[in-house]
Structure 1
Amino acid sequence: MSEEKLMSKKKPAYPVSKKLNAYLELYNRNIEIPIFYEDLLRFSGSIVVYDSNDEDSLWVRVYYSEFERREIDESLKKVYSILLADGGDHIFQYLNIDAVDYCTFGNSKPFRIKVRNILNDNFTYFYIKKTDASRIYGLELEHMLSPYNLNFLVYKNTLIEEHIAGIPGDVFIKEMLPNCTESEKAQLAKEFVKFNERCMIRLLGDMRSYNYVIVPTHDFDHVVYKIRAIDFDQQCYEGKLKVYRPQFFKENYQMVELVRAKLQSKSVDQYKLEERSIVAKRMKSSGNRIKRLLKACLVDTISTKENTERLKSEIYELTLDMDFKTCKKMGEVLNLALDFVKRNYEDVSMKQIMEHRINTN
Structure 2
Amino acid sequence: MSEERLMSKKKPAFAVSEGLDKYLYDYNRKIEIPIFYEDLLRFSGSVNVYDSNDVDTLWIRVYYSEFDRKEIDHSLKKVYSILHSDGSDNIHQYLNVDAVDFCTFGNSKPFRIKIRNILNDNFTYFYVKKTDASRIFGLELEHMLSPYNLNFLVYKDTLIEEHIAGIPGDEFIKNNLPNCTEREKAQLAKEFVKFNERCMIRLLGDMRSYNYVIVPVHDFDHVVYRIRAIDFDQQCFEGKLKVYRPQFFKENFQMVELVRTKLLEDSVNQYKLEERSIVAKRIISSGNRIKKLRRIAKASTISRPENVALLAGQLYEFTKDLNFKKCTNMGQILDVALKFVKRNYEDVSMKQIIEHKIKL
Q: TM-score range by the shorter chain?
A: over 0.9
Cα deviation, residue 357, structure 1: 1.0
- 1:67 has 2:72 as partner: no
Aligned-pair Cα RMSD in Å: 0.4
Cα deviation, residue 33, structure 1: 0.2
- 1:22 has 2:22 as partner: yes
Structure 2 stretches lacking a partner, 5+ long: none
The ranges of structure 1 where at least 4 consecutive aligned residues each deviate by more than 4 angstroms after the TM superposition are none
Length-normalised TM-score, structure 2: 1.00
Corresponding residue number in structure 2 for 1:105: 105
- In the TM superposition, what are the counterparts of 1:1-361 in structure 2 within 5 Å? 1-360=1-360
CA deviations 1:98-141 (Å, max 9, x no partner) are: 00000000000000000000000000000000000000000000
**Match of 1:260, SS?**
helix
Cα deviation, residue 220, structure 1: 1.3
Paired amino acid for 1:256: V
User: Using the alignment, how far apart are the partners of 1:147 and 1:266 within structure 2?
Assistant: 24
**Match of 1:42, SS?**
coil
User: Using the alignment, how far apart are the partners of 2:144 and 2:323 within structure 1?
Assistant: 24
CA deviations 1:302-340 (Å, max 9, x no partner) are: 000000000000000011111111111110000000000
Cα deviation, residue 359, structure 1: 1.5
User: Using the alignment, how far apart are the partners of 1:289 and 1:344 within structure 2?
Assistant: 21
User: Using the alignment, how far apart are the partners of 2:331 and 2:17 within structure 1?
Assistant: 13
**Match of 2:234, SS?**
coil
Paired amino acid for 1:30: K
CA deviations 1:51-72 (Å, max 9, x no partner) are: 1110000000000000100000
Paired amino acid for 1:342: K
User: Using the alignment, how far apart are the partners of 1:331 and 1:17 within structure 2?
Assistant: 13
Length-normalised TM-score, structure 1: 0.99
Paired amino acid for 2:317: E
Sequence identity of aligned pairs in percent? 79
CA deviations 1:149-196 (Å, max 9, x no partner) are: 000000000000000000000000000000000000000000000000
Paired amino acid for 2:269: D
User: Using the alignment, how far apart are the partners of 2:266 and 2:352 within structure 1?
Assistant: 20
User: Using the alignment, how far apart are the partners of 2:217 and 2:321 within structure 1?
Assistant: 40
User: Using the alignment, how far apart are the partners of 1:44 and 1:306 within structure 2?
Assistant: 41
**Match of 2:79, SS?**
helix
Cα deviation, residue 91, structure 1: 0.2
User: Using the alignment, how far apart are the partners of 1:36 and 1:26 within structure 2?
Assistant: 22
Cα deviation, residue 348, structure 1: 0.4
CA deviations 1:14-36 (Å, max 9, x no partner) are: 01000000000000000000000
Paired amino acid for 1:83: L
